[in-house]
Amino acid sequence: MPKAQETILEIDLNALKHNVTFIKSKLKSNTKFLAVVKAFAYGSDALEIAKFLKNINVDYFAVAYTDEGVALRDAGIETPILVLHPQPQNFKIIIERCLEPSIYSKRVLNDFIAVAEEQKQSNYPIHLKFNTGLNRLGFAETEVKSILNSLETTKAIKIKSLFSHLAASDDKNEKEFTINQIESFKRITQKVLNTLGYQPILHQSNTSGILNYPEAHFDMVRCGIGLYGFGNNIEINKSLKPIATLKTTISQIHSLKIGDSLGYNRAFIATKKTKTATLPIGHADGLNRLFGNGNGFVFVNGEKASIIGNVCMDMIMVNVTDIVCKEGDEVIVFGPKHSAENLAESINSISYELLSSVSQRVKRVFRR
């Protein structure tokens, strides 16, 4: 790719294909693959990512909210789409756009049945989510009988899948907890299946679950962060390729004398002769203010340069005193050679947060 002349997020679709192939290699041939493309596909570009994944035969997509699913439909995606956290006021839109809601409480179930009946639906696909320990969303095991009773009163809906979510599948110290979650899910689903009379899809594994708990693959797996190049494990990361590279360029270089200050509130005071570079990227582009004052860093001509002073809305300044560089040179914020995980760790954060924070005003450039 040409050197960056502005702030861009370069997205490598070949790396995306590599990641899908690697993760699928861990599955049985008949295990379905759900790609999680919520939050603009973890900060990349949900529409382009989904179009690409559709062409390499993923079975399902998942988004967090209804509007995200609508955007995929508007882009021509016809693959089934699971909405993980639907809001009742959007149920009519969900039905109109053939989206499939996660139903996680009795209130939500009753509300969706009412809308589905009003819209004269028959066997509309829903996904029942059960809480097995994450304690975020989901029915309790004790509600199984009540759920089944509600389903017997209507022909408007039909269970497409039963699912749950692992809380600590990336943490070896929590193996016992994760095994208990898996066993709990098996027990709950068996109770449902004993009465239901047909076989919905069963799924529980996220990326770490796919990699660490093959016994929890069931009929389908849900892959999120793994698609984008991270496996929550140093060894696994060696087999994955980060798809996103955040690049920018040097706008101007300054030479500071001892005692000169830099940026808002004079947060940096030079204690020696210092050369700084100003870059056109700031907290409005997704670089948290916590990266300022020496916490974060970028790479200028392959050399690590600390972010100094406060992060501005549209700019940062970095220390390039010992780096050979000039105005117009390309700068890498994160990418395959300079991990987003490492940068995120500098402010006690995680790759998920850094990736999904990249602003939509940052231009996306696709490498195929």
Residue 234: inside a domain, yes or no?
Answer: no
Amino acid at 10: E
pLDDT > 90 in the chain, percent: 97
Q: What is the pLDDT of residue 181?
A: 98
In a shared domain, residues 265 and 318:
yes
Calculate ∠ Cα 183-188-193, nearest 5°.
Answer: 120
In a shared domain, residues 221 and 312:
no
Contact 2, 192 (CB under 8 A): no
In a shared domain, residues 188 and 73:
yes
> CB atoms < 10 A from the CB of 172, how many?
10
The reply to whether the predicted model has a pTM over 0.85 is: yes
Q: What is the pLDDT of residue 1?
A: 65
Q: What is the set of active-site residues?
A: 38, 264
Examine the pLDDT at 233 and tell me if it is beyond 90: no
pLDDT tens figures, 1-59: 678 899 999 999 999 999 999 999 999 999 999 999 999 999 999 999 999 999 999 99
Which domain does 296 fall in, by range? Answer: 244-367
Residue 251: inside a domain, yes or no?
Answer: yes
In a shared domain, residues 209 and 288:
no
Domain count, the chain: 2
Examine the pLDDT at 160 and tell me if it is beyond 80: yes
Residue 11: inside a domain, yes or no?
Answer: no
pLDDT tens figures, 285-312: 999 999 999 999 999 999 999 999 999 9
CA distance 368 to 148: 48
Residue 80: inside a domain, yes or no?
Answer: yes
Q: What is the pLDDT of residue 175?
A: 97
CA distance 146 to 335: 49
In a shared domain, residues 212 and 255:
no
* Tokens 């304690």 sit on residue: 135
In a shared domain, residues 333 and 290:
yes
Last residue of a domain, which of 228, 253, 271?
A: 228
Q: Which residues of 99-133 are buried (b: 16+ CB within 10 A; e: fewer)?
A: bbbbbbeeebbebbbebbbeeebeebbbbbbbbbb
Examine the pLDDT at 274 and tell me if it is beyond 70: yes
In a shared domain, residues 262 and 213:
no
